[in-house]
Amino acid sequence: MILVTGSAGFIGANFVLDWLAQHDEAVVGLDKLTYAGNLESLASLKDDPRHIFVRGDIGDAELAGRLLEQYCPRAIINFAAESHVDRSIHGPEDFIQTNIVGTFHLLEAARAYWGNLTGEEKTGFRFLHVSTDEVYGSLAKGEPAFSETRRYEPNSPYSASKAASDHLVRAYHHTYGLPVLTTNCSNNYGPYHFPEKLIPLMIVNALAGKPLPVYGDGQQIRDWLYVRDHCAAIRCVLEKGRLGEVYNVGGWNEKANLDIVHTICTLLDELRPRQDGKSYRAQIALVTDRPGHDRRYAIDAHKIEHELGWKPAETFETGIRKTVQWYLDNQGWVNNVQSGSYRQWLEKNYAGRG
């Protein structure tokens, strides 16, 4: 059995679904069910005895300890995090509490649990911490992509909180011997993505006839990773990764934000044309950039390929088509996830940016 934190979030839910599609090994999922945690993403597992869901916070040390003692997992995969840069700018405290304090409490619970294991159970235990490329800061045009030895230079409250959690994980390995692994991934996209991030927001707004807000000049560059490729990478690191090591996970797909939006519009023009015959590109609106917006991220994923044999299966062209089609086919999920608080957030974030 494995314990997956943040299991109802975007990447966590995809990981649980993919895991149970390929393994008989059971999953205990732990999620606080904040705005981005959505049990509907796991609805297909409702009657699956291999899936046990617990609502709770990784910052609840008593709960974490109890779950570990009750279910005796062989591994913890920690996806639980506040992850939206704009939200961290408007309200950084939640990011400090979840990403730093929460990770600390989870590490403490894991250390106590692991300390009581013996034999093969102890040597086989793993704590896999899922992090982000944003901890490395911003790249200049032409600068080499982020490697695992890149100096940390986080530029937002979100990335700073994730950097702190990465350092805690490293420290627990070097100080206490806790058998940890860390992955730093590039921008994920795919099914079940909460529609505040770029790709799902553009799809949802386009279909609703709303403006497609693009920050600044739209030339911010990101490396894009299809979420199920990311899930495969995590399974690979869990199985074969060297203890204490960091593995960067990327899609080898550097794209400017405006190019991403143009691609989405082109796909929607093909798959769900506007009734007036115009392109969805007519809805694009450049808006005031966000404070401290990093210009470029890029992942050097050679280490995980050379050491563990993982590389992404999807190109951006195949992955984005699957993603757009999923949102077209799952409008019920989209409608249900758009609560009143989510709409209020969009209004707050984009007010006055036109």
Query: For the segment 15-43, what is each residue's pLDDT rounded down to a tens digit?
Result: 999 999 998 999 999 999 887 788 999 99
pLDDT band, very low/low/confident/very high, at 131 (cuts 50, 70, 90)? very high
Catalytic choice (31, 57, 86, 158): 158
Return the bridge partners of 248, or none.
184
Catalytic choice (57, 82, 134, 294): 134
Phi, psi values for residue 76, rounded to 5°? -115, 125
CATH fold of the domain at 2-192+225-252+293-313: Rossmann fold (3.40.50)
Per-residue pLDDT tens over the stretch 244-260: 999 999 999 999 999 99
Q: Assess contact for 182 and 319: CB atoms under 8 A.
A: no
Using CA atoms, how far residue 173 sits from 67, 125, 197, 245, in Å, is 22, 13, 33, 10
At 271, the amino acid letter reads: L
Structure tokens at 255: 């794209």
Q: What is the CA radius of gyration of the chain?
A: 20
What's the mean pLDDT in 66-90? 91
Q: How many CB atoms are closer than 10 A to CB 90?
A: 12
Q: What is the pLDDT of residue 87?
A: 81
Q: Among candidates 235, 239, 3, which has minimal Cα distance to 114? A: 3
Q: What is the pLDDT of residue 320?
A: 98
Q: Assess contact for 196 and 343: CB atoms under 8 A.
A: no
Burial of 135 (0-12, 13-18, 19+ CB in 10 A): buried
Give yes or no for residue 349 having a pLDDT over 70: no
Catalytic annotation present for 350: no
pLDDT band, very low/low/confident/very high, at 291 (cuts 50, 70, 90)? confident
Give yes or no for residue 353 having a pLDDT over 60: no
The torsion of the CA quartet 333, 335, 337, 339, rounded to 10 degrees, works out to: -170
Catalytic choice (31, 133, 166, 254): 133
The pTM score is 0.93
DSSP state of 100: I
Catalytic annotation present for 280: no
C-alpha–C-alpha distance, residues 61 and 67, integer Å: 10
What's the mean pLDDT in 177-184? 98
pLDDT band, very low/low/confident/very high, at 351 (cuts 50, 70, 90)? low
Catalytic annotation present for 134: yes
What's the mean pLDDT in 109-130? 98
Give yes or no for residue 345 having a pLDDT over 90: no
